[in-house]
Amino acid sequence: MQKVSGLQLNANTQVFQESTLIARFETVRAATLAIAAPLSPEDMVVQSMLEASPIKWHLAHTSWFFETFILIENLPAYEVFNPHFKTLFNSYYVSLGACHPRPQRGMLTRPSLSDILDYRKHVDMAIHHLLEQVVSAQVKSLLELGLQHEQQHQELMLTDIKHLFFHNPLFPAYLCTDLPSAAPASSLEWIHYEAATRPVGHAGEGFHFDNETPRYLTHIPSFAITKRLITNGEYLAFIEAGAYRQTRWWLAEAVDWINREAVRHPLYWHYQDGKWFEFTLHGLVPLQLDSPICHINYFEADAFARFAGARLPTEFEWEHVAAEMPVLTANPHRLHPQGGGEGGSHQPLQLYAQVWQWTCSAYAAYPGFSPSAGAVGEYNGKFMVNQYVLRGSSVATPRGHARPTYRNFFPTGARWQFTGLRLAKSL
């Protein structure tokens, strides 16, 4: 369930200057607070489901990460802010001792938000002290890890608060700005790719998680992929053709899920007075047919693909397609996918900054994958079962946190992330 995987500790990944690091540290930490800014202390304490965490917990846990993996060991005379936090804000690093149980993160009305903000300042100041000195490459590497980790939580903060607000019948908006109209969707074109034997996985010096390595050779048979993402309108046609009432499009396990939970539409769709609406971080809005479909799980993505006479891409097909394409960044003031983009005839659109795209690849170790040493890397492979890989990035992904080799992953039932799909076919 946990998606924040182990982290790559190669000291040589990326060599920042201390001054650059400080600037980057400040930027990332400030971005986290900016995400929390529209929220009240009450908004930040509640846990809306087992898989989500309170915003306050995110604020604390990301600070705990720096304290635990960097400050305690590397800053002489560092004083732990509060010894209870070791347990309260440990997510799942069990070699560090007990964790406060995940389902009870929402019970933590104390420490208060104000205490947690003090904790953040305490950690920030200590990191500043640390970086006033020359630090080892390993510490720099750990610091970069901490920042990447915090960016993952920034996306989770947005999806967790969206989940919470959706369960409030007042449908509060996280952002008060109006959501602009979606760009008109182009017709659904296919781009063809020849068979290729090519390396997949991360190469070079930039930051990456360990699950992107080792890079290795794989053979990709010829295939086609859709130029753009599937839209709400196309998914609505699926629903109107009987989607959730017909077993033939669905995996056997998906049929059980539909029956058990009486599913009839994607997570945040809402039917009212004869019309479809969609709950967004900008509030409840009429369903925009040209926007990419969003908040569907693996079962729904897979069923739509079968309905469309296609299939989901493999993660390597996606990586091959994205290899030469630019990595786009989302506009943080429009927290909902809206499609659009332009490109040449052989150029896929909407790879990034719209919705994560389900692949048909089970989340597994690459051949030769080996976990890092110590608690940081202790559980690298811990989530590599019964989950599927998503590629790309979403409207909620922070700048600098997407790349062609990035492997996001969620269980087949998860719907609260910004998840959609594009189609593929073997040729």
Can you read off the two tokens belonging to residue 140? 């720099």
Classify residue 354 by its DSSP letter: B
Which residue number, 280 or 393, has a Cβ lying nearer to its own copies? 280
Tokens of 342: 């332009």
**Which segments within 331-423 are labelled E, that is strand?**
356-362, 387-391, 408-411, 419-420
Q: Is the bond leading into 214 cis (omega within 30 degrees of zero)?
A: yes
**Cβ 419 to its own copies shortest distance, Å:** 16
- For residue 390, list its beta bridge partners: 358, 408
Comparing CB distances to its own copies, the nearer of 165 and 238 is 165
Catalog residues that contact its own copies under the rule CB under 8 A.
1-2, 40-46, 48, 56, 84, 87-88, 92, 94-95, 100, 104, 106-113, 164, 167-170, 172, 197, 216-219, 221, 223, 247-248, 251-254, 298-299, 302, 306, 311, 314, 360-362, 364-365, 367-369, 378-379, 381-386, 412, 426
Closer Cβ to its own copies, 45 or 71, answer by number = 45
Q: By C-beta, is 18 or 378 nearer to its own copies? A: 378
Q: How far is the CB of 185 from its own copies (least distance, A)?
A: 28
> Is the Cβ of residue 144 or residue 210 nearer to its own copies in the bound state?
210
Q: From the CB of 339, what's the least distance to its own copies, in Å?
A: 28
Q: Which amino acid is at 137?
A: A
CB of 309 to its own copies, least distance (A): 10
| Contact (Cβ atoms closer than 8 angstroms) between residue 200 and residue 216 | yes
Residue type, position 326, single letter: P
CA–CA gap between residue 114 and residue 188 (Å, rounded): 50
Nearer to its own copies, 23 or 241 (CB): 241
CB of 301 to its own copies, least distance (A): 11
CA distance 31 to 39: 14
Task: Using the minimum distance from each CB to its own copies, give the nearer residue, 223 or 268.
Answer: 223
DSSP code for 279: E
CB of 386 vs its own copies, minimal distance in Å? 5
Q: Which of 237, 284, 307 is nearest to 265 (CA)?
A: 237
Q: Which is nearer to its own copies, 127 or 267 (CB)?
A: 267
Minimum separation from the CB atom of position 22 to its own copies (A): 32
The Cα 313–Cα 392 span in angstroms is 12
Those residues with Cβ within 8 angstroms of residue 421's Cβ, 6 or more apart along the chain or in another chain: 229, 230, 293, 296, 301, 304, 305, 312, 357, 358
Smallest gap from residue 76 Cβ to its own copies (A): 29
Closest CA to 11 of 142, 175, 194, 169: 142
> Minimum distance from CB of 115 to its own copies (Å)?
10
Q: Which is nearer to its own copies, 17 or 386 (CB)?
A: 386
H/E stretch holding 216 reads: strand 216-220
Contact 171, 279 (CB under 8 A): yes
